[in-house]
Chain A
Amino acid sequence: MDSLLSLVLLTPLMGMLVLLCLPSANQQAIRLAANIVGLVGFLVSLPLAFRFDANAAGYQFVENIDWIPFLGARYHLGLDGISLLLVMLTTLTGFLAILSSWNAVTDRIKSYYAMLLLLQTGMIGVFLSLDFFLFYVFWEIVLVPMYFLIGVWGGPRKLYAAIKFFLYTLTGSVLMLIAMLVLYFQYHQEFGVYSFGIQELLRISLPAATQQWVFWLLFVGFAIKVPMFPFHTWLPDAHTEAPTAGSVILAAVLLKMGAYGFIRFSLPLLPDAANTALIVQVVVTLSLVGILYGALVSLVQKDWKKLVAYSSVSHLGFCTLGIFSLNPNGLAGSIIQQVNHGISTGMLFLIVGVIYERRHTRDIAEYGGLAHVMPRFATVFAFAMLSSAGLPMLNGFVGEFTILQGAFERNPLWAALGVIGIVLGAAYLLWLFQRTMLGQVTNRKNLGLADLSLREMAIFAPLIVWALWIGIYPKPYFDVLKQPVSQIVERVRPGVYPVPSGVRSVEAATR
């Protein structure tokens, strides 16, 4: 059995245990060790990308051993195109988040890095689990380190933000637990054995009415995590108060867990519900409201970090819009957009972090004309901003375009409203750039600011390269996604789209 996935999953955890054994007094050694673990964590995940076979159906690198036989819970890991992209995103941003904390965090750094590494294992576990129980365990594990990251190392209102984040997400996930148990119990009734396996659960045939309320239970859990419009209020607080690394990971990875949940669980396990007109309408409406509302609120923010936070609400609205377009374009675009959002918004948060480290304020009005003082910084910011705004040849464009294509196929109105969101997105980002970077230096405190150091450049470099790669040559990404996406679409709306050659149905692929 191939144990590559376990290696990727457990490297951060093992690193954390090693880190805990180091003496607290030696701060440099702890920093160095944490960075090495982060880098190794990324390096061990690279073989996944090289050895991944885009044409093979089903999951790859599968590991499947008994865990709690009595419950039917298994330690079952596997990787398909969707999880491949998200895992790579996690290992990379996880490493960069650690790297970005070198000077930013000075208090209790051993616990700090330990939390980041534990978080890393939790997030990777969410994307790799093929067992609902295991998935749930990892999903919950993620909450605890994030709670501490916000609560200990966060900004002025950290305590409020931390508990709000925890309570919101937990409320959602306990409802998800109920949904999970309903599916589990149904499987037992039909087949006489207990199983949490995602592939096994595909075989159950729930009545349509049950599917619908199970869908809503799952929906609350995932929608809070994404977050979708009425459930988003934890996000600005958590993002704003979290330390930079925490914000980066929150934006880049944690929010993707919700969208991933929709793709991995809601659609394939409850296909009839997901295809119901009412449900599609509600979810899409909430997505569109989220896109527009997030963008409008971003426009009026005075706080740099809060602006980026609200922009996440808008961008994630595109992801859910794409998912519930329920066609190959929408779905593939949504997944690519998730990666894009991780790259661009991760960069934007890092940028806020860089400036906050120097000036200790996030008030946009405090800045202006920084391009004169920090030219390298301004260049990187311009790049991140354009990538987030969806300029062609950069990554954001590819994702948004494909999503809108998918939305247009279903309903041109959706696409029209989405386009307004893009326009607004460009507006608030450009205006932010203008207010902070362009013009003359109005605030004397900003005159002596140091430009990006080599370490900081090293943080941005891989993200910039990745953004360009997706923007210029996205074909490998679409190739990787072709199999899983058409399987899901075929399952939710059988026969509507021609299945590309070489793609087998989910049922067949999992036999």
Chain B
Amino acid sequence: MKTFKIGGIHPEENKLAKEEAIEVFPIPKQVTLFVTQHLGAPSTPIVQAGDKVKVGQLVATAQTLVCANLHSPVSGTVVKVEPVPDMTGYRKLAITIDVEDDIWEETIDTTSEIRKEITLTKPEIIERIKACGVVGLGGACFPTHVKYMVPPEKKVDYIIVNGAECEPYITTDHRIMLENGEECLIGVQALLIASGAPEARIGIEANKPDAFEHLQRLASQYPNIKVFKLKTKYPQGAEKQLIKSLTGREVPNGKLPIEVGCIVNNITTTYAIYEAVQKNKPLIETYTTISGKRAKTLKNYKIRLGTSISEVLSTVGIPENTGKIVSGGPMMGKAIANINSYFVKGMSSLLFIDESESKRGVVEECIRCGKCVTACPMGLEPYLLYALATRADYEECEKHGIMNCIECGSCQYGCPAFRPLLDMIRVGKNKTGYMIRTRNK
């Protein structure tokens, strides 16, 4: 069993919804699509009020490099293209579409038949991934095609596929591996062609033995795909930690995985890539776990983008004493401030956190126990960064590696004095980053 060496924690797994098969959430009456569904610049709308659209039709295009195309997840009429509050409460430009029927673009293969043979060439695959608006579905939503625009002097040795799903509660990757494992592996094949890498390595945490065995069996037909069992340890699925676990290579600080010949993709992303490459189907859905210790129903939903969050909430019911609703995992996800918002790409869960658990403990003095230091998977000293960031000493923050922080939250999770370590480190990171950028100008 493989794992990374520095730091890490083991929170309660709470994979409550792992037995729930993926269910299709009914198509809503209206969808609202934010033009920012990914990391990078917003996409530019190419439709206006009154336009008729089909499922899979391009509605907003990527104008810059780090940006992703956006397609209509429904058929119907565009009502408006106006700013709408997103789940954090900020107003963001969005396209609202009234749903009529469910008519798909003819170019999309809507059959359920699995298409194994890849006919596209390397540049065609990358172009298709870009055209279909595929982004990383592990949480960061980084446009996938950008990762495959490898500088000519760099060589890709490994495609690393993240099936760790190290965040507690979330089970969508787990279900995708069980239900669509074969498609995922075809997607991985497409990535091998796109990158020219000789080998792909899939890492799955030991708490999903069924998914591990299933994918290992399926992968036996592909000599260039290897499946590994990983120790159940957070943050096993973090990019740099995963590369370390699967290849032993350590991405130098401040550098990207390509520096050590690796490209990392999430397992659900490989499924989206399969659909894009083999079925010409753009990314128009998100896989979302509905969970929580007191959740009324546990679900793994396939939801059309732009579906209203409150509509899903009223379908599943908000449990009594819910203090917080989190989108994404409990370690790195965002607390939802505005439930009258809409699903976006990569929104992997809706978690109900109990009132009692949602409030933080009373902050006490640091007793220098060092738990944050031993938990940090990047080998940083969170207590020190916290102090430096509080003092606004960003020069020292930089010296002590604040920019290496991956914001996994392991430090704050274990802090017995309930200190808001990550909150302050985020502030410090932000300011330090600004300082570095202005200095380099």
Partners in one complex: no
